[in-house]
Each structure stands twice: as structure tokens, then as C-alpha cells.
Amino acid sequence: MTKIIGITGGIGTGKSTVSSYLRQKGYRVLDADEMARGISQKEEVLKEVIESFGDDFVIDGKLNREKMAEEIFSNAEKKEILESIITNRIIVSAKDIFNRIRSEDKEQFVFFDAPTLIESDASVLVDKILLVTADIDIRLKRVSDRDGCDEKAVLDRIGNQMADEEKRKASDYVIDNSKDEEKLYKEIESFLKNIE
């Protein structure tokens, strides 16, 4: 039977790099953030966003992602509200997809890249959990370079996420992505050998 492996980790840990590598190796990787982007375009979701956050969070019938990011990454309560609007829909959609994948049973492993896999209780959908971690200074640099934001903004985002120590307790495998990509790829290969 096909096993679903969840990939999780905080901002700047390198989940996307791990997912990209797995795709290059021929594995199917479903991305919760991509699912969220699709779900956030639905009319009923946009109505809930306007009701909860205000008109300026939807522009021309689309979620104002930049404004929303500013709002939720600095306010845990607002983050919970948005997650209640979108996350439940992701879980329902992912469950349907995983049930179909399991019934087809064509692949040994399928991966699910979900930053809030553990916090959102989506972990019940997967068979095993892979946590990607990285040293805090590396995460700060990666996110600052990628998003063009200052250290305080990055620390606010990290502070609004579940701590790695907590995620580690719920995870079956851990990959440390504090070094270069070559080291990361070796860690992924080792992980793949251990799950097969």
C-alpha cells in the first residue's frame, strides 16, 4: 500500500528544497501551500476572509497575500482565524486525494509538504512525518534574503510557529538542513534508504 509521508518544518528550514529534490528523484509531492492558494481563490473563502479581516484583504476578487502575510505573521490570533478558514478545506481535499492514491496503490511513497502539518492536525492523514530543521541564524538569513524582510519580521514569523522541539516529538524522521545543499541531498538519500 502507498505510504504518505508528511514533510514539515518552520519557515526557512528548506522544506521546499527537500520537496524539489524528491520531485527530481521521481516522487510525487503534494504541496499544502499550493492547495491553499487554490482554495483561497474560492468565492466562499474570500467572503469569510472579508468578514474576518476586512475588505482590504481582498483586491479584485483575489486574496491580498502580502497584506495577509503581514497580518498573520505578527498576530497569532489572526493566524488562527485564517487557518480555520483555509486549513480545514486543505485537510478535506488532501484526505480525498490520499484516499484515491492509496486505492490506486501505484506508488510506494507520496509526500505531502505541509508547513503546519502537526499544528493543524493534518498529521492524521499521513503515515510518517519528516521534519526539516535548520539553525536559527541560517533560517534568518534565508528568509531575509528570499523575502527581503528584516530580522525582526523573520523572528516574528518564527515566533508564531510551533517550535522545532515540539515538532521533533511528533516526527518520525529529522533532516538537519543547516549546511550546504550537497550535505542536504546526502541526508535526503539516507532518509530514503531508511524508509524503504
Give, in degrees to the nearest 5, the angle at Cα 143 between 37 and 150. 115
Residue range 139-146: mean pLDDT, rounded: 94
Q: Which of 74-78, 163-167, 174-178 has the lowest mean pLDDT?
A: 74-78
Residue with cell 499544528: 119
CB 39, CB 146: distance < 8 Å: no
The domains found in the chain, sorted by start residue, are 1-28+107-195 (3.40.50.300), 34-106 (3.40.50.300)
From the centroid of its chain, how far is CA 55? 27
Residue range 96-122: mean pLDDT, rounded: 94
Q: Which residue has the higher pLDDT, 157 or 128?
A: 128
Give, in degrees to the nearest 5, the angle at Cα 128 between 106 and 188. 85
d(CA 7, CA 94): 14
Full-model pTM: 0.90
pLDDT for the residue 52? 95
Length of the chain, please?
Answer: 196
Sign (positive/negative) of CA torsion 123, 129, 134, 135?
A: positive
- The SS3 call for residue 126 is coil
d(CA 144, CA 153): 9
Predicted confidence band at 80 (pLDDT cuts at 50, 70, 90)? Answer: confident
